[in-house]
């Protein structure tokens, strides 16, 4: 496998990154039709066996009894998905089969937008030839299909890619909206503040951080006014979660997934801040120090790549990997927003290698090991995944150091 720099598309950098010709249209048609046929060909309940759709359905069904997230029970994610979920449940008439199909269709639209953004970003960085190849690769991958029918992280991926696109194209309002609204799906898009700092400086970054806070207050403000205790519990839940599926979890003796307690616990605000499993042996704030120091060191290194946009994309991927290594937990669906970043940051042959290896490791962990109750084998997959992420971080760091 060659380690030579990927120069595909360099001759096309000056060309427009717009979608032209039949290339992308054909890919999009196959991408969407293949997933639609999957929905038609299999019983809906079978498609969600290893995902969270049933859990989302159960939470949305609480509206039948007059219970709503943040108002009557705490919810571990920001407001956008919980209320989108309720809207889907309502349109589906409270029927599980209809709900599964409808939620899958909504997220399929989001996934098509993700494919489009990935194409545009690849065209912006490398030219149309590489963009078409990247789109074909994403269409052929199984991991995005599996998690499309498993959870709502396609929506998280959308705001990550939209924010990255806005950053590279210097669309300031779009960037602020992508970061702020994206943080109201999951906090993950906020990580884009790091490449923003590297690309445009700390002062500008603080302005965007303030915009994120303002947008967050607009979303959370009404809930804080109506039900401060449950809203604050919702905002604290993820930070107080027990470690899971990481080396930190192994140190803590937690051989489980990252699920919270039963739905009944969500009606008690104090349960949001009580870890379900063993508390951390090493406090999370303490582990943050070396990772933050490493991130700051890399962030402040002089840029050596001639293309500042490519530098920003590689540093974005590095930031996400560093976050995964630090995080007390690992959710396999996080691959959904890592995969596009890796495809953009590395030569495609090496990117696909990392994506496939991570995919196999994570499928071995879930659903194979955890769904069969063989939790004692978690140490093997956790060690393997951590090693792959370390190698990926090193590869990205070397790319940042390369001249060109």
Q: 343-352, pLDDT tens digit by residue?
A: 999 999 999 9
**Counting every residue, how long is the chain?**
404
How many alpha carbons fall within 13 Å on the CB side of residue 291? Answer: 18
> Are the CB atoms for 214 and 208 separated by under 8 Å?
no
Give domain limits for the chain. 21-401
DSSP track, 200-233: H-HHHHHHHHHHHHHHHHHHHHHHHHH-HHHHHH
Asked whether the CA dihedral 392, 196, 84, 241 is positive or negative, the reply is positive
Q: Report the predicted TM-score, pTM, of the whole model to 2 decimal places.
A: 0.93
How remote is the C-alpha of 198 from its chain's centroid? 21
Looking at 8-17, 143-152, 196-205, 379-388, which range is the least confident one?
8-17
Listed residue (319, 287, 325, 292) closest to 198, CA to CA: 319
Residue 2 has pLDDT above 50, yes or no: no
pLDDT at 404: 65
pLDDT at 142: 97
Listed residue (202, 207, 364, 382) closest to 299, CA to CA: 202
Residue in the structure block whose two tokens are 């809906």: 44
Q: For residue 246, what is the DSSP state?
A: S
**Phi and psi (nearest 5°) for 69?**
-60, 145
- The residue with greater pLDDT, 19 or 398, is 398
The residue-averaged pLDDT of 249-270 equals 90
The predicted-structure confidence for 296-346, as pLDDT tens digits, reads as follows 999 999 999 999 999 999 999 999 999 999 999 999 999 999 999 999 999
**Phi and psi (nearest 5°) for 329?**
-130, 160
> Are the CB atoms for 107 and 152 separated by under 8 Å?
yes
The residue-averaged pLDDT of 170-180 equals 97
The predicted-structure confidence for 84-127, as pLDDT tens digits, reads as follows 999 999 999 999 999 999 999 999 999 999 999 999 999 999 99
The residue-averaged pLDDT of 278-294 equals 95
How far, in Å, CA of 122 to CA of 310, rounded?
Answer: 10
**Phi and psi (nearest 5°) for 300?**
-90, 0
């Amino acid at each position: 496998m060659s380690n030579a720099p990927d120069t595909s598309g360099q001759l096309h950098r000056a060309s427009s990154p717009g979608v032209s010709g039949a290339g992308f249209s054909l890919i999009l048609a196959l991408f969407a039709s293949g997933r639609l046929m999957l929905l038609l060909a299999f019983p809906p309940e079978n498609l969600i066996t290893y995902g969270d759709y049933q859990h989302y359905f159960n939470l949305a069904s609480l509206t039948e009894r007059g219970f709503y997230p943040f108002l009557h029970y705490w919810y571990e994610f920001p407001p956008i998905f919980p209320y989108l979920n309720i809207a889907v449940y309502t349109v589906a008439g409270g029927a599980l089969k209809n709900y599964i199909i409808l939620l899958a269709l909504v997220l399929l639209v989001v996934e098509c937008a993700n494919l489009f953004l990935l194409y545009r970003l690849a065209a912006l960085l490398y030219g149309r030839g590489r963009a078409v190849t990247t789109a074909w690769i994403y269409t052929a991958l199984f991991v995005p299909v599996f998690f499309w029918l498993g959870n709502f992280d396609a929506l998280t991926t959308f705001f990550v890619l939209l924010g990255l696109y806005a950053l590279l194209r210097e669309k300031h309002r779009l960037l602020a909206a992508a970061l702020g609204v994206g943080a109201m799906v999951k906090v993950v898009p906020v990580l884009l503040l790091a490449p923003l700092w590297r690309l445009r400086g700390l002062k500008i970054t603080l302005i965007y951080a303030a915009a994120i806070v303002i947008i967050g207050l607009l979303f959370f403000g009404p809930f804080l006014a109506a039900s401060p205790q449950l809203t604050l519990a919702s905002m604290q839940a993820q930070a107080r979660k027990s470690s899971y599926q990481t080396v930190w979890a192994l140190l803590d003796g937690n051989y489980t997934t990252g699920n919270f307690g039963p739905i009944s616990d969500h009606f008690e605000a104090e349960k949001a801040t009580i870890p379900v499993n063993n508390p951390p042996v090493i406090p999370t704030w303490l582990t943050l120090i070396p990772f933050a120091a490493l991130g700051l060191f890399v962030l402040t290194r002089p840029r050596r790549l001639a293309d500042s946009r490519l530098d920003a994309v590689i540093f974005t991927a590095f930031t996400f990997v560093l976050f995964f290594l630090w995080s007390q937990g690992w959710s396999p669906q996080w691959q959904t927003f890592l995969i596009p970043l890796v495809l953009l940051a590395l030569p495609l042959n090496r990117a696909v290698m990392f994506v496939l290896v991570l995919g196999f490791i994570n499928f071995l962990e879930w659903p194979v090991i955890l769904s069969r109750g063989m939790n004692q084998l978690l140490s093997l997959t956790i060690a393997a995944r951590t090693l792959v992420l370390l190698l990926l971080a090193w590869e990205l760091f070397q790319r940042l150091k390369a001249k060109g």
